[in-house]
Amino acid sequence: MSVTLDPSTVQRVLEDWEKHPMKKPRIAKVTVNISLGYSGERLRKAAEFLEKITGQKPVYKKAKRTIRAFGVRKGENIAVMVTLRGERAIKFLEKALEAVAWRLKRSSIDRHGNVGFGIEEHISIPGVRYDPELGILGLDVVITIERPGYRIVRRRRQRRRRIPTRHRVTPEETMVLLNQLLNVRWV
């Protein structure tokens, strides 16, 4: 069952963006995460795979606390992640969305318009072959969407400010944007 956007809603959103160009959202970044839960040779190979598929060097993430039941120690590397921006983000999204058949769940959008989805098997990404040494990996992909001017929340030099609710991206706007840019269908 596919969720179709109401044509009147789409028309209203597009007219609003034309009328007020600073309201048109954009893809700020795409974060790709592979979390194994343990360190070692397999994590290093996962980092190599992530670098190969994204074209950018990944960062190792450490465990925040010790969990004896899982054999995890605080400070141990247990995951790798990459943050992509600009053209690299769009190119990677095209591959990742093809792996999920260009369909995302409506429930995967948060109230600020960000979208997250998972790829269960990395071999479903086009151009990736199975490597017996690596095994099967899952990826988490998070798309952060924001409007121009959102920088004031993160700036360091001058005083930071809060963004009012009316300037936040709504889930409907996210659906329209991703449908326009990448032809995403919503389920």
Residue 23 included in any domain = yes
Q: Range of 88's domain?
A: 7-186
Report residues of the chain scoring pLDDT below 70.
Answer: 1-4
Residue in this structure with the two tokens 């040494």, named with its chain if needed: 133
pLDDT tens digit sequence for 81-124: 999 999 999 999 999 999 999 999 999 999 999 999 999 999 99
Read off the tokens for 147.
Answer: 């409007």
How many beta carbons lie within 10 A of that of residue 86, not counting itself? Answer: 11
Are the CB atoms for 83 and 64 separated by under 8 Å? no
Note the Cα 43 to chain centre separation in Å.
Answer: 21
| CATH code for the domain in which residue 159 is found | 3.30.1440.10
Residue 154 included in any domain = yes
Residue 104 included in any domain = yes
Residue 1 included in any domain = no
The total number of structural domains in the chain stands at 1
Q: Model-level pTM? A: 0.90
Residue 94 included in any domain = yes
What does the pLDDT read at residue 94? 95
Residue 160 included in any domain = yes
Helices (H), the chain: 7-19, 41-54, 86-99, 171-182
Are the CB atoms for 94 and 85 separated by under 8 Å? no
How many beta carbons lie within 10 A of that of residue 140, not counting itself? Answer: 15
